Amino acid sequence: MSNTAPALTEVEQFGIDRIPDADRTAKPLDLFRLAFGGANTFATCVLGAFPILFGLSFKQGLLATVLGLVVGALILAPLSVFGPRNGLNNAVSSSAHLGVHGRVVGSFLSLLTAIAFFSISVWSSGDALVGGAHRMVGLPQNDGMFALAYGVFAVLVLVVCIYGFRFMLFVNKIAVIAASALFVLGFFAFAGDFDFGYQGAFASVSTPGFWPAFIGSALIVLSNPVSFGAFLGDWSRYIPAETPRKRVMTAAFASQIATILPFFFGLATASIIAAKAAPYMDPAAPNYVGGLLEIAPSWYFLPVCLLALIGGMATGTTALYGTGLDFSSVFTRFNRVQATVFIGVLSIGFIFVGRFAANLAQSISTFATLIITCTAPWMVIMMLGWLTRRGWYDADSLQVFNRRQRGGRYWFAHGWNWRGMGAWLGSAILALMFVNLPGQFVGPLGNLAGGVDISLPVGLGLAAVVYLGLLFAFPEPRGVYGPEGPRLVGASDAPVPPITGQNATSEPVEELI
């Protein structure tokens, strides 16, 4: 018997509670559409332009892009399995490894990341829409027009997110095809000006400054897949639990590899801008969207506007939906719709203040990078936690925080698992110290690697070593591991406190083969 999906215009009622089996009608292909659609936008093109901004040649930039995408996709893919297993978003599932109260770390990381990327998507798409309309029909480029464009984007995104998962999936089904077609059309628009042999500032890998530029470019690309880590469970929780994990992980991996399309578009067009309109690629004040419109043929102005509208909707919905969901999980007096409206209005206010009053448009990109640096160690702890637990979780114990209960398998020390929390906090702080964003943010240890930003590798590696080391030195209670016991690490005989509160039960989620 097959499950029937609810109507598209039916407002989603599920918050952060476990999605019932009867309502889990999504497929791995739907996960691909959401993750790819959310990145198949101008915002990704801007990231794709960074290798050229850093002085790399087109070939060098392409190699750095492919390297960053593949590594980032490999890091991201395992985060897709928690949703189908538990029917919960990843922040709630993180209770198993950071504790009932420690799970707020994942909620606030996703909250801050979503607001940052929602702002970036609205700003970049709004600028492209107004700029394209100016070149096409002479629409004035003033604060009023930019404010109107930002407002229209933001309100449309908020409406889609209020309706919820099904409506968001519908938007992204259209966005994946339409945006991809417009990007492909763009290759024809710029083919005559494109030079595959574009030379940057580095004649060879031995040229001073090459490796910092190359590694920095790869890490910027890598940060895009990593930014989805906290959100995958928001969407994959609608996939049935019996779906093979390989299919779910493949969908997540492929969704990021597919973003080679907007990354390549950004890289190629940036090389053209650098050759034909160099002032737009000034590292001190880059303006990729303005440069793109400067070099674009007139017939491509309309596709630019459509791409801005479609891409902005896709990125904005995938970011804001997860934000409302996580906010409702931390402040349970709000349901999903109320939390989405509250966060949406707050984000819209932030967008206008940041753009017109405080000039935060560039600073928010730095802020997003710092948040991702903190998210990467959290992702490692989640993955290693899954490995050591053999993918076994207790559904009721994961919901203790949401139900305002106490106890359960993941109560640890007053709701905090100091092993996971300590590994995350130490790794995140040290990683931030290694951040090197010249002109924006350079940590105390940012120049230790010759100017190379190694913050993400440091955060990922240290989190793995410290977390496993703590699990070896201070074993977790045997009760958190389920009937098959732990993998790779030991377990203690410490008792698991019973769940206390209304409707307290303790029925574990059995391992599905």
pLDDT 10s per residue in the chain (513 long)? 445 555 555 655 566 678 888 888 889 999 998 889 888 888 888 889 989 988 999 999 999 999 999 999 999 999 999 999 998 888 889 999 999 999 889 888 888 877 777 777 788 788 888 888 888 888 888 888 888 888 888 888 888 777 766 777 777 778 888 888 989 999 999 998 999 999 988 888 888 888 888 988 898 899 889 888 888 888 898 899 999 999 999 999 999 999 999 999 999 999 999 999 988 888 777 788 888 888 999 899 888 888 888 877 777 777 777 676 667 666 667 777 777 788 778 878 877 877 776 655 556 667 777 888 999 999 999 999 999 999 999 988 998 888 888 999 999 999 999 999 999 999 999 999 998 877 678 889 988 888 788 898 999 999 999 999 999 999 999 999 989 999 999 999 999 999 887 655 544 444 432
pLDDT value for 403: 80
Tokens of 101: 């109260």
Tokens 């930003």 — which residue? Answer: 453
What is the CB-side half-sphere exposure of residue 165 using CA atoms within 13 A?
27
Residue 407 lies in a domain: no
Q: How far apart are CA 77 and CA 69, in angstroms?
A: 12
Answer yes or no: is 5 within a domain.
no
Tell me the C-alpha distance between 374 and 423, whole Å. 12
Distance CA 367, CA 171 (A): 28
Going by C-alpha positions, the residue among 259, 34, 40 that lies closest to residue 166 is 34
pLDDT of residue 71: 93
Structure confidence at residue 1 (pLDDT): 40
Whole-angstrom Cα Rg for the chain: 23
Q: Which residues contact 513 (CB under 8 A, 6 or more apart)?
A: none
CB atoms within 10 A of CB 349: 11
Number of domains in the chain: 1
Residue carrying structure tokens 């109107």: 148
Q: Write the burial class of residue 339 (CB in 10 Å: 0-12 exposed, 13-18 middle, 19+ buried).
A: buried
Residue 271: inside a domain? yes
The answer to whether position 499 is within a domain reads no
The residues facing 399 across adjacent strands are none
Residue 453 belongs to some domain of the structure:
no
Q: What is the CATH number of the domain that holds 110?
A: 1.10.4160.10
The β-bridge partners of 509 are 393
Alpha helices in 391-454 (DSSP H): 395-398, 418-433
pLDDT at position 287 is 81
505 falls within a domain: no
Quick check: is 495 in a domain?
no
Tell me the C-alpha to C-alpha distance, in Å, between residue 296 and each of 83, 269, 493: 42, 9, 67
Amino acid 512: pLDDT: 34
Residue 435: inside a domain, yes or no?
no
Q: Which range marks the domain in which residue 140 is found?
A: 26-371
